[in-house]
A = this chain, B = another copy of it.
Amino acid sequence: MAFTLDVTSMTERVVPAGVRDAEWGALDERFRTAHSAVVATAATGVYGYRELEAQRAERTRVVDFARSVQGSYDDVVVLGIGGSSLGAVALRTALLPPAWNARTVEQRGGRSRLHVLDNVDPRTIAGVLSVVSLPRTVFVVISKSGGTIETLAQYLVVRERLAQAGLDAARHLVFVTDPARGALRAIAGRDGIPAFDVPPNVGGRFSVLSPVGTLPAALCGIDVEALCAGAMVMRDATMGAELAANASGLFATLQWRAHTHAGQGQHVMMPYSDALRDLAPWFVQLWAESLGKCDVDGLHVGPTPIASVGATDQHSQVQLFMEGPADKTVTFVRVDSSADDVEIPRLEAGERAMAFLGGHSLGELLDIECRSTASALARAGRPSMSMTVGAADAWHLGGLMMWLMQATTIAGALYRVNPLDQPGVELGKRLANAELGHPDYAGGATEQGPAAPVVPSRRLRVG
Contacts and interface: CB of A to CB of B under 8 A. Distances in A.
B325 A13 contact: no
Contacts of A120: 311, 362, 365-366, 369
Contact of A435 (B2, B321, B372): B372
Interface string A50-89: 0000000000000000000000000000000111111000
A11 interface: yes
Contacts of A368: 432, 435-436
B323 A431 contact: no
A81 B345 CA distance: 20
A144 to B, nearest CB: 11
A296 interface: no
A353 B234 contact: no
A423 interface: yes
Contact of A86 (B131, B316, B357, B440): B316
A389 to B, nearest CB: 9
Contact of A274 (B2, B124, B399): B124
Interface string A288-321: 1101111000001110101101111111111111
Contact of A131 (B103, B247, B348, B375): B103
A454 B131 CA distance: 56
A3 B452 contact: no
Contact of A376 (B159, B311, B403, B431): B431
Nearest to A385: B458
A23 interface: no
B463 A237 contact: yes
Given A13-B455, A131-B99, A285-B317, A460 B4 contact: yes
Which among A4, A86, A237, A435 has the highest number of chain B CB atoms within 10 Å?
A: A435
A325 B3 CA distance: 33
A275 B123 contact: yes
Which among A120, A371, A422, A423 has the highest number of chain B CB atoms within 10 Å?
A: A120
A347 interface: yes
A301 B291 CA distance: 26
A362 B425 contact: no
Nearest to A4: B461
Contacts of A81: 311-312, 315
A437 to B, nearest CB: 5
B288 A302 contact: no
Given A153-B357, A365-B120, A82 B347 contact: no
Contacts of A315: 81-84, 148, 204, 285, 289, 425
Nearest to A99: B131
A122 interface: yes
Interface stretch (A34-42, A213-221, A335-343): A335-343
A326 B344 contact: no
Nearest to A274: B121
Contact of A320 (B2, B292, B353, B453): B292
Interface in A222-267: 230, 233-234, 237-238, 244-247, 250, 265-266
A363 to B, nearest CB: 5
B428 A156 contact: no
A369 B436 CA distance: 10
Contact of A289 (B7, B316, B340, B341): B316
9 contacts: A7-B458, A119-B310, A187-B348, A266-B266, A289-B319, A291-B320, A302-B323, A304-B320, A379-B451
Given A153-B362, A285-B316, A352-B439, 8 more contacts: A3-B463, A13-B453, A83-B315, A98-B126, A102-B102, A107-B130, A122-B341, A289-B316
